[in-house]
Amino acid sequence: MNNIINIKYAFPSYLNPHVEAVDAEVIQWAQSNKVLKGPFEVTQYRKMKITWFAARLYPEASQRKLTAVAKLFCLLFILDDYTDMIGDKNEFWIIISRDLMKAIKGEEGKFELFFSRAFQEVWEEISSWTGHLWQKEAQTLFERFLQAGSWEARNRQKNRIPAIGEYMRQRVEFSGAKIAFILIPPVWDIPFELTQKSKFKEIQEVAGKIIYIANDLMSYEKEKLENDCHNLVLLITHHHDLQPETALKKVFDLHYEEVAKFHQLEEEIRNCAKGSDGFSHEFLMALRFLISGSTEWSKADTQRYRSAQNGN
């Protein structure tokens, strides 16, 4: 377990200086929208430090933009936790998928779930910073996120253990990493078209693997206690009939293989970028913040993986 605790990168994590002010605003907003109901839910939310997650991922965001992103993350984490309390998880994900896609598309009509109106408000604000191409891609990514969430919910309801390859394909989608990536252009004021070039898409795929593998390492003990098979260490232990220590080492080594690929792609992109191409360098820096920030948040900030609370 020491290796897991000591996951380190060649680049540090930073905390956005607006985090305290943003957290207070997000909590007030969540209460006014009935997303957080009562003192107990507010206390539990504060323990999870979801705003710190946004502040780790986007340490250079303005207070206005960090607030919108933190509201979005608040809703996504609450969605994840709410799923665990629902009996018919499959039916719930059908409803939430219908609601959130209606919100993203800006369709009129009544929502079925209590946080969907709040989600629409946040999504409209973030979309106002962007153009048509970004909005189209964001809609596609969110559809995949919801489909992967539905897949996980069906598995859990049926006590189905997925194959390793199937899990890895879905994990990068329901981890939310791709949503974090697509927020980089509007938060950093980087042209969206740049991030869609082949090398940039390739490095995002690698970064997504790093993030979810690190998260599976960090949450392994918690998910083992909860008997939740949606963890790469637990799946390798089960399917390959390995001792937990052996499976942990395999996943730990896989994580650093992906880190090595990330650094190689970074070098290739920097070598191809012109000296005046500041956007390329900013995008690489933003990816670094996402990688180091997500792991540092799990280790240093939240109680999400050190308690009986649910988590992703």
Q: Who contacts 39 (Cβ-Cβ below 8 Å, separation ≥6)?
A: none
Residue that the structure tokens 């080492």 belong to: 249
For 95-136, write each residue's pLDDT tens digit.
999 999 999 998 887 898 888 999 999 999 999 999 999 999
pLDDT in tens, 192-207: 999 999 999 999 999 9
Task: Give me the pLDDT at residue 116, please.
Answer: 92
pLDDT of the residue at 2 = 41
Q: Which pLDDT value is given to residue 81?
A: 82
Structure tokens belonging to residue 292: 């180091």
* pLDDT given at position 273: 80
Whole-number Å distance between alpha carbons of 91 and 89? 6
Amino acid in the structure at residue 202: E
Quote the pLDDT of residue 307: 46
Residue 276 has pLDDT above 80, yes or no: no
pLDDT in tens, 166-220: 999 999 999 999 999 999 999 999 999 999 999 999 999 999 999 999 999 999 9
What SS3 state is found at 222? helix
Taking alpha carbons only, the member of 140, 171, 183 closest to residue 235 is 171
Q: Residue 5 has what pLDDT?
A: 59
In Å, how far from its chain's centre is CA 257?
21
Q: Which of these ranges, 5-19, 169-183, 272-286, has the smallest mean pLDDT? A: 272-286
Q: Is residue 309 predicted with pLDDT exceeding 70?
A: no
- Cβ 152 vs Cβ 170: under 8 Å: yes
What are φ and ψ of residue 62, in 5° steps? -65, 160
Beta strands in the chain (DSSP E): none
Residue 190 confidence (pLDDT): 96
What DSSP line would sit under 47-88, residue for residue?
A: HHTHHHHHHHH-TT--HHHHHHHHHHHHHHHHHHHHHHH-S-
What confidence tens digit (pLDDT) does each residue in 14-59 have? 999 999 999 999 999 999 999 999 999 999 999 999 999 999 999 9
Please tell me the CATH code under which domain 2-7+17-301 is placed. Answer: 1.10.600.10
Distance CA 163, CA 79 (A): 25
pLDDT in tens, 213-249: 999 999 999 899 988 999 999 999 999 999 999 999 9
Q: What is the dihedral of CA 296, 123, 96, 297, to 10 degrees?
A: 10
